[in-house]
Structure formats: C-alpha cells, structure tokens
Amino acid sequence: SGAVVRLLGDPARREQLAGSGRERAAGWPTEDDTIAHVLSVYDELAQPLTAARG
C-alpha cells in the first residue's frame, strides 16, 4: 500500500511511531498482573452463591 511505501521512505516517522508504540505498551499490565487478576476473578466466581451474597 502507499502508506507502507511512504513509511519505508521516512525513517524519522518510523522512529516516531516506534517510540509511541513503546510508550503505549509500557502502560500495559504485565503478564504476572494479568494472571493475578484472572485468578482472582476465578476465585470470586468459584465461591458458593450464599457466600457471594454476603
């Protein structure tokens, strides 16, 4: 596509996009954070209904 060809010819723009991507990804949860969150949801869902109702 034309956009890809333009990007290939623009090293400064490629670096800008790469930096933006790294910056955005730095704010994502880590694998350990994600696993802990999923396990806590599973634990909550596995509780008997009477305990969940408090």
Cα dist. 50→1, 40, 47, 53, 54 in Å?
A: 58, 18, 8, 5, 7
- Give the start-to-end residue ranges of the domains of the chain: 2-53
DSSP-assigned letters across all residues of 3-53 = HHHHHHT-HHHHHHHHHHHHHHHHTSPPHHHHHHHHHHHHHHHHS-HHHHH
- Per-residue model confidence as pLDDT tens for the chain (54 residues): 899 999 999 999 999 999 999 999 999 999 999 999 999 999 999 998 775 565
Stated pTM of the model: 0.54
